[in-house]
Structure formats: structure tokens, C-alpha cells
Amino acid sequence: MSSITVTGIPAIKTAPRGALWAARAAASVWSGLSKWIAAGRERSLGLDAAVEAAQVRALAHRHAATDPGFAADLMAAADRHEAQHADR
């Protein structure tokens, strides 16, 4: 059997000067950036939905003369898609 003998208490190390301030500043910057990126992502989702709906409406206009029922379905789908993503 082996044993370990500890002859003293290890010294308690303190954080370097300014470490707490730097950590709080980094956390604050990280939080701000994540909120800014999330807001930009939400704006781009709404814009993407509007662009997609416009493309579907253009397709509906091309088919309006030959297949009006299909064109009406495409227009309704574009409206529904845009309304669904307008809340975000």
C-alpha cells in the first residue's frame, strides 16, 4: 500500500488584477453581438420570404393565361407564405 504525506497547505491563488473586469466586459460584448446577429437574422428571414413570394407570384403570372386555376393556387400560396413569415 502506498501513502502520500502532505506537509503544507497549498497557497491560494488570486485572480490577476483586472481579470474580473475583463471577463464582465467580454461577456457584455458577446451578449450584445449575439442580440445584434439574431435581429439581423430575423430581418433577413422576412426579406427572404418576401423575395420567395415575389418569385412565386411571377410564376403565377406566367401561367395565368394557360392555367388560371394553377395561377390562383400559386398566388394563394405566395400570400400564405408571406403572411406566415411576416410575424418573424
pLDDT at 43: 64
The model's confidence at residue 87, banded by pLDDT at 50, 70 and 90, is: low
Q: Are 62 and 74 in contact (CB under 8 A)?
A: no
- Whether residue 31 is predicted with pLDDT greater than 70 in this model: the reply is yes
Average pLDDT over residues 16-42: 84
What's the pLDDT tens digit per position in 61-76? 999 899 999 999 999 9
Instruction: Decide: pTM greater than 0.85.
Output: no
Q: Measuring CA to CA, how many Å separate 69 from each of 32, 74, 81, 84?
A: 49, 9, 18, 22
Average pLDDT, the chain: 84
The model's confidence at residue 46, banded by pLDDT at 50, 70 and 90, is: low
